Amino acid sequence: MGRLASVAATLGVGSTADDMLFGTLDAALTDTRVRFVLPDRTCEVGRGDEVAFVVRVTDPQFARRVLTAGNLGLGETYMEGGWAMEHGTLDRFLATLALADVDRLIRRDPRLVARIAAMRASHALINSTKKVRPHYDVDAEVYELFLDETMGYSCGYQLTPDDSLQTLQENKYDRVCRKLQLREGERLLDIGCGWGGLINHAARHYGVRAHGVSPAPNQVGKALARARALGLESLVTAEVADFRDVTGVYDKISSVGMFEHLYPHEHATFFARVRSLLADDGIGLLHFMGCTTDRNDPDPFIQTYIYPGSTQPQLSLAVKGLEREKLAVLDVENIARHYHPTAQYWNDRFHANKHRLDPARYDARFIRMFEYLMAVYIAGTTTLVAGVFQVLFTRNFRRNLPWHRV
């Protein structure tokens, strides 16, 4: 705090955005040295025997954009080619910034807060008519570059450090299946089935009749194609549908990586629908990325370019939703630590395979957007700023309460 206070004390009325950004970074990076190569000068910040990262900045508004828009400004400037890594990797650089928690340090000094707030207000007025939210039609071919054969796009589960990406995902599917106590012949509903990794695993290894729903036609198509390839047509079905449209009664219900994409006002409807679909003696499992503090602050870059409207709901919201529907919680597990090896595979595989994308469909800006996304995943899983919760629940607490966790 002392170094940050001294930075704030020197930031007079005439101080520039560069002064504010690099002065703050110098105070925050206590064990890492970073060199910024600007158009007119070179600036080193932080502490360390050697320079860990060299960042070349070509956008003259780099500092102002980062100060006024945080990670969104940093990400957009990277997408536009306004800065690039000359030494060190993007994912480790973002992880270092995340661990330094610059925003928290700034909030502790009212003088810096006031200066940056004024800059943000000015920036908002200047850009009040500029509402650019580019949309990309991202087909499965992009995800195939970095996902495993099952196309699992959520946190895996590591049993050994040598687990491959596919093994991480299959470990996760199997853990979900065992928590649900799947038995041959039972009906399983997977809400938000994605590309069908879980329903195919459950049918193949546990003999259940698995039905998946997703609002994305390309996901449902690939899920059914994989079921046919595995000879599971008689056990696996999937449809393009919203969870509100599903009918029937199911012995077991799962939902992996979907809950965080609901708006808060949809939560009550979701849990009521789950209860109506679950058999009297049924068991369900909800897997989602959630906030571990009292503040739910979705990342602005993710919100703008990747998953508009997504949130990181607190665990308490999920538990209250289940309790409201008289669905008793059997077990809660936070597997967030397993997200880092998953994200590292995604990052490495994307960089190794991005050259395969057709430049006529996916321009340089798109490629850099996904590079930045992969780095954000690494940063988030390094700092463990969020939880990955698996909440097991039932309509029959007395009968289904397990003796041991899987």
Q: Which is nearest to 53 in space by CA: 4, 93, 83?
A: 93
The yes-or-no verdict on residue 237 having pLDDT over 60 is yes
Mean per-residue pLDDT over the chain, rounded: 89
Residue where the block lists tokens 């570059």: 145
The DSSP-derived string for 254-281 is EEES-GGGS-GGGHHHHHHHHHHHEEEE
Residues in the chain: 406
Q: Give the pLDDT confidence score for residue 70 in this predicted structure.
A: 86
Banded pLDDT at 307 (limits 50, 70, 90): confident
H/E stretch holding 191 reads strand 187-191
pLDDT in tens, 247-293: 999 999 999 999 999 999 999 999 999 999 999 999 999 999 998 88
Residue 186 and residue 114 share a domain: no
Q: Give the pLDDT confidence score for residue 13 in this predicted structure.
A: 42
pLDDT in tens, 19-48: 889 998 998 999 999 999 999 999 999 999
Residue 151 and residue 93 share a domain: no
pLDDT in tens, 339-367: 999 999 999 999 999 999 999 999 999 99
Rounded alpha-carbon distances, angstroms, from residue 86 to 37, 54, 92, 247:
9, 5, 13, 55
Mean pLDDT of all residues in 203-229: 96
Does residue 406 fall inside a structural domain? no
Does residue 134 fall inside a structural domain? no
CA distance 393 to 400: 9
Residue 116 and residue 206 share a domain: no
Q: Give percent helix, percent strand, percent coil of the chain, each to the nearest 5.
A: 50, 20, 35
Of 93, 126, 159, which residue constitutes the final position of a domain?
126
- Looking at residue 372, its amino acid is Y
Q: Give the pLDDT confidence score for residue 114 in this predicted structure.
A: 53
The yes-or-no verdict on residue 123 having pLDDT over 50 is no
Provide the CATH number for the domain around residue 190: 3.40.50.150
Does residue 373 fall inside a structural domain? yes
Domains identified in the chain, total number = 2
For residue 231, the number of C-alpha atoms closer than 13 Å in the C-beta half-sphere is 3
Q: Are 28 and 48 in contact (CB under 8 A)?
A: no
Helix residue ranges per DSSP H, 29-155 = 62-79, 90-100, 102-107, 110-126, 140-144
Residue 223 and residue 113 share a domain: no
Residue 119 and residue 211 share a domain: no
Of 73, 100, 126, which residue constitutes the final position of a domain?
126
SS (H, E, C) 11-57: CCCCCCHHHHHHHHHHHHCCCCEEEEECCCCEEEEECCCCEEEEEEE
Residue 321 and residue 179 share a domain: yes
The DSSP bridge pattern shows strands 42-46 and 83-87 to be unpaired
Does residue 50 fall inside a structural domain? yes
Residue 147 and residue 110 share a domain: no
Does residue 74 fall inside a structural domain? yes
Domain carrying residue 81: 2-126
Residue where the block lists tokens 């490629």: 367
Q: Which is nearest to 88 in space by CA: 59, 48, 60?
A: 48
CA distance 253 to 179: 11
Q: Which residues pair with 391 in a beta bridge?
A: 286, 332
pLDDT in tens, 316-329: 999 999 999 999 99
Q: What is the pTM of this model?
A: 0.89
Residue 166 and residue 53 share a domain: no
Q: Give the pLDDT confidence score for residue 106 in this predicted structure.
A: 60
Q: Sheet containing 42-46: which strands, arranged edge to edge? A: 42-46, 33-37, 51-57, 83-87
Classify residue 302 by its DSSP letter: I
Q: Give the pLDDT confidence score for residue 384 in this predicted structure.
A: 83
The yes-or-no verdict on residue 10 having pLDDT over 60 is no
Residue 80 and residue 16 share a domain: yes
Of 126, 158, 184, which residue constitutes the final position of a domain?
126
Q: Are 44 and 35 in contact (CB under 8 A)?
A: yes
CA distance 280 to 399: 11
Does residue 131 fall inside a structural domain? no
Does residue 133 fall inside a structural domain? no
Least confident among 54-68, 100-114, 197-211, 222-236: 100-114
CA distance 14 to 3: 20
For residue 308, the number of C-alpha atoms closer than 13 Å in the C-beta half-sphere is 6
Helices and strands counted in the chain (H then E): 16, 11
pLDDT in tens, 75-84: 999 999 999 9
Provide the CATH number for the domain around residue 34: 3.30.1050
**Tokens found for residue 257:** 């990586």
**Tokens found for residue 157:** 């589960």
**Tokens found for residue 374:** 């992969």
- Looking at residue 199, its amino acid is I
Q: Give the pLDDT confidence score for residue 100 in this predicted structure.
A: 87
CA distance 156 to 208: 22
Residue 372 and residue 260 share a domain: yes
Residue 215 and residue 348 share a domain: yes
Does residue 395 fall inside a structural domain? yes
Residue 122 and residue 181 share a domain: no
Q: Which residues pair with 189 in a beta bridge?
A: 211, 253
Q: Give the pLDDT confidence score for residue 117 in this predicted structure.
A: 52
Three-state secondary-structure class, residue 57: strand
Q: Give the pLDDT confidence score for residue 218 in this predicted structure.
A: 92
Q: Give the pLDDT confidence score for residue 15 in this predicted structure.
A: 65
The DSSP-derived string for 343-388 is HHHHHHHHHHHGGGS-TTTS-HHHHHHHHHHHHHHHHHHHHT-EEE
